[in-house]
């Protein structure tokens, strides 16, 4: 497959061209914010980290591995890269992820520390200590074992943000059964394909969860996915465990479905963790790529834990005995894995998790939660920040946010305006902001300022983390000089790197390692400013970023084309004030439908049914913001759709250079339809 890879093709870069005038102004006002007195010298991170890592990279990682992780058997070799690009880190060491996240804190006398404050959307709340959590994780591990789930078996978790969901992940880790969490917002069809690809023996789900003031069902999607697999004769699932959250009626398949509480009740609270080798798979997490089929990103145990714990300690400056940390990500995304479950728990953090939406029952809900629990570290996404900006300063200002001392951002480039608003309105003009760049594939934060060390700069993720080897290169793989743009690559293996795509080694090599031989190609455009700091410019491939979630243009196109009425479809990510990018679809209808669409309000109906079709096939997040019915699509002479031109249309710009089109009149035709 040919990939259109040019930095210019990056979705209009919020932090650069589009906002360059504002950016220049902002930077003139405040080029950067030096560490405050509170952080200087007091922060977990010290400038010496960079020197240590530069001096002896592998020695640095060995130190981190022994500092942040408790090994059952110590490792002797740090890295084996002889089978590149599949790395082996700390390979002869053995350990257990759940033991590291829970038991060792209890052993160290910290059992009474709260691990999670759970805040339900309806206002119910519950706190659980590390000691209590240990008992629950052990019971769950014994319950899984009683269902004959053993080391190596895959378990799908399709559940809301509940303490039980975290317990489920840790119970899997405790017995060495890789989990694959599927975001609760994904459809039955998306769930089905993930269950099948992972070959999962067990699905852990819930009756539902609360969202926007009402219970939303989850179990029906599991039932639908499993029926479809049964019908196809490819169902690997033997059992489902169902967490009761809402009390909704659920359909029940006797002999297959078991209530979570019934399975846990008789289980013993003692359980010996299964000590696995460092390279034992910890989880598979599916993410969108440039082709239709989602990729099962594989992470293993040792290196992943080392780097998530190390980055959490240094980037978020966690002081575990006093801080209250809140990462707003759902466990269905990698941020929920690395910075709700594994990174912070290895650090013994006290965390907040919240089940619902930010506007339920009112738009101050998050700030109410910050006040209620005294949250001191908040980690969220630019799309949320921009939404709060839109809702107005007077909402957060009604709450006491003085406990906040550090703010983080992740998921997409944060535009300088949003960065400044975040610091000013949420952070009282005092808090450092860490803009953290990383990916599902990288497992842990790779580029970020370090609080107490780096003078922060609005809109830039700035500095590669110590021990990583990140560069911005041109087409010929040469490092670009300061002031220039190019492609973001990683030149040396890192501990929490993906170990492959589940069941598809060839695709792993092809996707990440073929564009620039010997280097990991991240798929992002980036620029170095005059100080050498890195600015992310968005994806350079056919991957969109909607509200910090990755969506594949091809996957949505395939879904549209699968609809009866559609002859051809092209999807682009158009700049959106709130969600960063939004899905805009250009659709050519089959003749009979096109004829119908020409009359009255029939076109609207077709557009609506296409939107709900995509939502049903992939999930509500993939639903196009806009569907444009067009007679033609702009194609090059070799038949490749020129999405760049469609993006111009979707973003209401004058259409750029269309001289390579096979038929240059097409764009006029499309533009006339759109107006
Ligand atoms: C893509 C990875 C990492 C967890 C959330 C998303 C974009 C992520 C930033 C940032 C600019 C960012 C990139 C990356 N991205 N963080 N701080 N600045 N862009 O994980 O779904 O794997 O998506 O998100 O384009 O490639 P993901």
- For residues 415-449, one letter each, b for 16 or more C-beta atoms within 10 angstroms of the residue's C-beta and e for the rest, the string is bbbbbbbbbebbbeeebbbbbbbbbbbbbbbbbbb
Can you tell me which atom of ligand 1 is nearest the CA of 338?
A: 4
Residue 17's pLDDT band, with cuts at 50, 70 and 90, is very low
Tell whether 628 is covered by a domain.
yes
Residue 548 region by backbone torsions, left for phi larger than 0, else alpha for psi between -120 and 50, else beta? left
Q: Is the Cα dihedral 437, 440, 446, 448 positive or negative?
A: positive
Residue 300's pLDDT band, with cuts at 50, 70 and 90, is very high
**Residue 387 CA, ligand 1 centroid: distance in Å:** 18
Closest Cα to residue 16, out of 577, 537, 629? Answer: 537
Tell whether 416 is covered by a domain.
no
Q: Which residue has the tokens 């061209």?
A: 17
Average pLDDT over the chain reads 92
Can you tell me which atom of ligand 1 is nearest the CA of 445?
A: 3
- Sorted by sequence, the CB contacts under 8 Å of residue 195 that are 6+ apart come out as 156, 203, 225, 226, 229, 235, 236, 237
What pLDDT does 396 receive? 98
Q: Could you give the 3-state DSSP secondary structure of residue 594? A: helix
**Residue 614 CA, ligand 1 centroid: distance in Å:** 23
What value does the mean pLDDT take over residues 575-590?
A: 93
Dist CA 166 CA 181 (whole Å): 10
Tell whether 396 is covered by a domain.
no
Nearest CA to ligand 1 atom 16: 411
Nearest CA to ligand 1 atom 12: 412
Return phi, psi of residue 253, to 5°. Answer: -105, 105
Q: What is the pLDDT of residues 395-450, one digit of tens each?
A: 999 999 999 999 999 999 898 999 999 999 999 999 999 999 999 999 999 999 99
Q: What is the total count of domains within the chain?
A: 1
Nearest CA to ligand 1 atom 23: 439
In 10 A of CB 603, how many CB atoms? 17
What pLDDT does 18 receive? 37
Dist CA 104 CA 97 (whole Å): 11
Dist CA 329 CA 440 (whole Å): 13
Dist CA 65 CA 71 (whole Å): 9
Q: Which residue has the tokens 């969860």?
A: 209
What value does the mean pLDDT take over residues 511-532?
A: 96
- Sorted by sequence, the CB contacts under 8 Å of residue 492 that are 6+ apart come out as 57, 468, 469
What pLDDT does 652 receive? 86
**Residue 319 CA, ligand 1 centroid: distance in Å:** 26
- Sorted by sequence, the CB contacts under 8 Å of residue 545 that are 6+ apart come out as 11, 411, 412, 538, 539, 551, 573, 580, 581
Quickly list DSSP for 331-347.
TTSHHHIIIIIIHHHHT
For residue 219 the two structure tokens come to: 């179990």
Can you tell me which atom of ligand 1 is nearest the CA of 550?
A: 21
Can you tell me which atom of ligand 1 is nearest the CA of 522?
A: 26
Tell whether 5 is covered by a domain.
no
Closest Cα to residue 254, out of 242, 245, 265, 264? Answer: 242
**Is the distance from CB of 94 to CB of 151 less than 8 angstroms?**
no
**Residue 445 CA, ligand 1 centroid: distance in Å:** 10
- Sorted by sequence, the CB contacts under 8 Å of residue 272 that are 6+ apart come out as none
Residue 19's pLDDT band, with cuts at 50, 70 and 90, is very low
What pLDDT does 12 receive? 33
Q: Assess whether pLDDT exceeds 90 at residue 267.
A: yes
Dist CA 353 CA 121 (whole Å): 11
Can you tell me which atom of ligand 1 is nearest the CA of 548?
A: 6
Nearest CA to ligand 1 atom 21: 550
Q: How is residue 348 annotated by DSSP?
A: T
Helix, strand, coil share (%) of the chain residues, nearest 5: 35, 25, 45
Residues, the chain, total? 675
Least confident of 290-294, 366-370, 465-469, 653-657: 290-294
Burial class (CB in 10 A: 0-12, 13-18, 19+), 481: exposed
Q: How far out from the chain centre does Cα 533 lie? A: 24
**Residue 409 CA, ligand 1 centroid: distance in Å:** 10
**Residue 629 CA, ligand 1 centroid: distance in Å:** 31
Tell whether 669 is covered by a domain.
yes
Least confident of 273-277, 281-285, 335-339, 483-487: 483-487
Nearest CA to ligand 1 atom 17: 437
Tell whether 140 is covered by a domain.
no
What value does the mean pLDDT take over residues 225-229?
A: 98
- Can you list the alpha helix ranges (DSSP code H) found in 327-470? 334-336, 343-346, 365-373, 382-391, 416-421
Q: Assess whether pLDDT exceeds 50 at residue 552.
A: yes
| Beta partners for residue 535, in sequence order | 527
The pairing of beta strand 281-287 with beta strand 295-300: antiparallel
Q: Assess whether pLDDT exceeds 80 at residue 2.
A: no
Q: Which residue has the tokens 């599949």?
A: 86
553: containing domain: 542-674
Q: Assess whether pLDDT exceeds 60 at residue 228.
A: yes
Dist CA 11 CA 619 (whole Å): 22
Q: Which residue has the tokens 């846990």?
A: 264
Return phi, psi of residue 69, to 5°. Answer: -125, 140
**What CATH number does residue 614 fall under?**
3.30.300.30
Nearest CA to ligand 1 atom 1: 439
Q: Assess whether pLDDT exceeds 70 at residue 156.
A: yes
Dist CA 164 CA 151 (whole Å): 21
For residue 510 the two structure tokens come to: 């092809």
Q: Which residue has the tokens 């979705």?
A: 11
Tell whether 74 is covered by a domain.
no
Tell whether 327 is covered by a domain.
no
Residue 15's pLDDT band, with cuts at 50, 70 and 90, is very low
**Residue 412 CA, ligand 1 centroid: distance in Å:** 5
Q: What is the pTM of this model?
A: 0.89
Q: Assess whether pLDDT exceeds 60 at residue 481.
A: yes
What pLDDT does 40 receive? 83
For residue 477 the two structure tokens come to: 């793989």
Dist CA 25 CA 446 (whole Å): 28
Residue 227's pLDDT band, with cuts at 50, 70 and 90, is very high
**Is the distance from CB of 466 to CB of 60 less than 8 angstroms?**
yes
Nearest CA to ligand 1 atom 19: 412
| Beta partners for residue 156, in sequence order | 180, 203
**Residue 549 CA, ligand 1 centroid: distance in Å:** 8
**Residue 439 CA, ligand 1 centroid: distance in Å:** 5
Dist CA 333 CA 181 (whole Å): 8
**Residue 448 CA, ligand 1 centroid: distance in Å:** 12
Least confident of 108-122, 182-196, 590-604: 590-604
Can you tell me which atom of ligand 1 is nearest the CA of 447?
A: 17
Nearest CA to ligand 1 atom 13: 412
Q: Is the Cα dihedral 67, 71, 73, 76 positive or negative?
A: negative
From residue 514, how far is each of 108, 291, 508, 510, 647 by CA, in Å? 46, 16, 9, 5, 27
**Residue 437 CA, ligand 1 centroid: distance in Å:** 6
Q: Assess whether pLDDT exceeds 60 at residue 14.
A: no
The preferred substitution site among 411, 545, 621 for testing ligand 1, maximizing ligand atoms within 8 Å of CB, is 411
Q: How far out from the chain centre does Cα 421 lie? A: 23
Residue with the larger pLDDT of the pair 469 and 617: 469
In 10 A of CB 256, how many CB atoms? 13
What pLDDT does 675 receive? 57
Which amino acids bring their CB within 6 angstroms of ligand 1? 287, 334-335, 410-413, 435-440, 461, 522-524, 536, 539, 545, 548, 550
Return phi, psi of residue 228, to 5°. Answer: -60, -40
Q: Could you tell me how many helices (H) and strands (E) the chain has, helices first?
A: 22, 30
Can you tell me which atom of ligand 1 is nearest the CA of 543?
A: 25
Dist CA 301 CA 306 (whole Å): 9
Return phi, psi of residue 109, to 5°. Answer: 85, 15
Dist CA 105 CA 486 (whole Å): 44
């Amino acid at each position: 497959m040919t990939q259109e890879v040019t930095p210019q093709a990056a979705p209009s870069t919020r932090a650069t061209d589009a906002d360059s005038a504002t950016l220049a102004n902002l930077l003139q006002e405040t080029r950067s914010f030096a560490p405050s007195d509170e952080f200087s010298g007091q922060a977990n991170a010290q400038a010496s980290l960079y020197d240590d890592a530069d001096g002896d990279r592998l020695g640095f990682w060995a130190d981190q591995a022994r500092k942040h992780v408790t090994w059952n058997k110590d490792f002797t070799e740090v890295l084996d890269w002889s089978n590149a690009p599949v790395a082996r880190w700390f390979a002869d060491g053995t350990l257990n992820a759940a033991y590291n996240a829970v038991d060792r804190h209890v052993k160290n006398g910290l059992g009474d520390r709260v691990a999670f404050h759970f805040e339900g959307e309806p206002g119910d709340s519950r706190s659980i200590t590390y000691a209590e959590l240990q008992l629950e994780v052990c019971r769950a591990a014994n319950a899984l074992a009683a269902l004959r789930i053993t080391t190596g078996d895959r378990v799908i978790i399709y559940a809301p943000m509940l303490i039980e969901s975290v317990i489920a992940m840790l119970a899997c880790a405790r017995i060495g059964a890789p989990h694959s969490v599927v975001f609760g917002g994904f459809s039955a069809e998306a769930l089905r394909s993930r269950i099948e690809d992972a070959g999962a023996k067990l699905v852990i789900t819930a009756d539902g969860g609360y969202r926007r003031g009402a219970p939303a069902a989850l179990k029906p999607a599991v039932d639908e996915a499993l029926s479809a697999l049964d019908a196809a004769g490819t169902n690997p699932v033997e059992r489902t465990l169902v967490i009761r959250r809402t009390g909704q009626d659920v359909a029940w398949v006797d002999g297959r479905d078991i209530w979570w509480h019934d399975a846990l009740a008789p289980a013993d609270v003692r359980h010996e963790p299964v000590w696995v080798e460092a390279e034992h798979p910890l989880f598979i997490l599916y993410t969108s790529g440039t082709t239709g089929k989602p990729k099962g990103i594989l992470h293993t145990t040792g290196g992943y834990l080392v780097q998530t714990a190390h980055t959490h300690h240094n980037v978020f400056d966690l002081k575990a005995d006093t801080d209250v940390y809140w990462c707003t990500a759902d466990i269905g995304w990698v941020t929920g894995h690395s910075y709700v479950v594994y990174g912070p728990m290895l650090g013994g953090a006290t965390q907040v998790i919240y089940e619902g939406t930010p506007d339920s029952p009112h738009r101050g809900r998050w700030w109410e939660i910050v006040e209620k629990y005294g949250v001191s570290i908040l980690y969220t996404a630019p799309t949320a920040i921009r939404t709060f900006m839109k809702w107005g300063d007077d909402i957060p200002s009604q709450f006491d946010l003085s406990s906040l001392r550090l703010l983080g951002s992740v998921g997409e480039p944060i535009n300088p305006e949003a960065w400044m608003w975040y610091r000013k309105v949420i952070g009282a003009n005092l808090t450092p902001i860490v803009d953290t760049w990383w990916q599902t594939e990288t497992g842990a934060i790779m580029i970020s300022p370090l609080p107490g060390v780096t003078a922060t700069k609005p809109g830039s993720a700035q500095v590669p983390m110590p021990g990583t080897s990140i560069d911005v290169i041109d087409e010929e793989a040469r490092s670009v000089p300061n002031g220039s743009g190019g492609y973001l690559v990683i030149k040396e293996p890192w501990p929490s790197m993906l170990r492959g795509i589940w069941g598809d080694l060839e695709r792993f090599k092809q996707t990440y390692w073929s564009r620039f031989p010997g280097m990991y190609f991240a798929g992002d455009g980036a620029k170095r400013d005059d100080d050498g700091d890195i600015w992310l410019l968005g994806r350079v491939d056919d991957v969109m970023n909607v509200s910090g979630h990755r969506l594949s243009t091809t996957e949505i196109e395939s879904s549209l084309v699968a609809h009866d009425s559609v002859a051809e479809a092209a999807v682009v990510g158009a700049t959106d004030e709130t969600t960063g990018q939004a899905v805009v679809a250009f659709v050519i209808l089959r003749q009979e439908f096109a004829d119908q669409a020409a009359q009255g309000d029939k076109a609207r109906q077709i557009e609506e049914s296409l939107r709900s079709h995509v939502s049903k096939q992939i999930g509500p997040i993939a639903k196009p913001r806009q569907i444009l019915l067009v007679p033609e699509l702009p194609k090059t002479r070799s038949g490749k759709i020129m999405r760049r031109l469609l993006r111009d249309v979707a973003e209401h710009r004058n259409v750029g250079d269309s001289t390579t089109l096979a038929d240059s009149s097409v764009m006029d035709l499309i533009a006339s339809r759109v107006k």
